[in-house]
């Protein structure tokens, strides 16, 4: 029973913080909300009996990558928001109707689901969260995907630095 309560709190906080990440206008506050999201997901990993993945979630993502985001935000400094017209403002009512409709559908699906583990005690899981199982999975099954992801992250980091450098130079900075 306690696991379900913790799951509910962690899932709700992950969704709440995730919503804040995309709705807050200040980049610093959005990044702090991203830390909350990542920590909530780490709690979910702990509930799935994957403590190594939870630790990596906190150390790598909530620690290193978010610090990189904060470094870029601090490097670029405070900038005013560009004033552009709201081209999709007239569709806002339809968007809210779609969101409400999807939420209702989600609740109906969850209420009528017959998936195992929803209403009964969860089953025991195997060795899915240990460092050995994760390392073996990376090397055996997902080596191409793992390397492609690391290459994409490297390209994104280099691109972010280049864009920041160009933006600072165009404003007469360093």
Domain 1-77 has CATH 1.20.1730.10: no
Q: What is the pLDDT of residues 10-51, one digit of tens each?
A: 999 999 999 999 999 888 888 899 999 999 999 999 998 888
Contact 44, 53 (CB under 8 A): no
Question: Quick check: 75 pLDDT over 80?
Answer: no
Backbone φ/ψ region at 121: left (φ over 0), alpha (ψ -120 to 50), beta:
beta
Q: What is the pLDDT of residues 104-162, one digit of tens each?
A: 998 898 888 877 666 666 556 666 667 787 788 778 878 888 888 888 888 888 888 88
Backbone φ/ψ region at 124: left (φ over 0), alpha (ψ -120 to 50), beta:
beta
| Global model pTM greater than 0.85 | no
Token pair recorded at residue 143: 């080596």
Domain range list for the chain: 1-77
């Amino acid at each position: 029973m306690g696991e379900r309560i913790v799951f509910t709190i962690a899932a709700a906080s992950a969704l709440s913080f995730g919503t804040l990440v995309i709705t807050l206008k200040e980049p610093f506050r959005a990044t702090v909300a991203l830390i909350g999201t990542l920590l909530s997901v780490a709690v979910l990993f702990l509930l799935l009996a994957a403590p190594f993945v939870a630790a990596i979630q906190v150390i790598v993502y909530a620690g290193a990558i978010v610090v990189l985001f904060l470094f870029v935000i601090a490097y670029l400094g405070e900038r005013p928001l560009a004033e552009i017209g709201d081209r999709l403002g007239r569709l806002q009512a339809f968007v809210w109707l779609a969101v409400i409709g999807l939420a209702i559908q989600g609740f109906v699906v969850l209420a009528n689901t017959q998936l195992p583990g929803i209403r009964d005690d969860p089953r025991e899981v195997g060795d899915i969260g240990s460092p050995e199982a994760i390392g073996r999975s990376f090397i055996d099954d997902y080596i191409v995907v793992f390397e492609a992801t690391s290459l994409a992250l490297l390209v994104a980091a280099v691109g972010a630095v280049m864009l920041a450098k160009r933006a600072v130079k165009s404003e007469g900075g360093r």
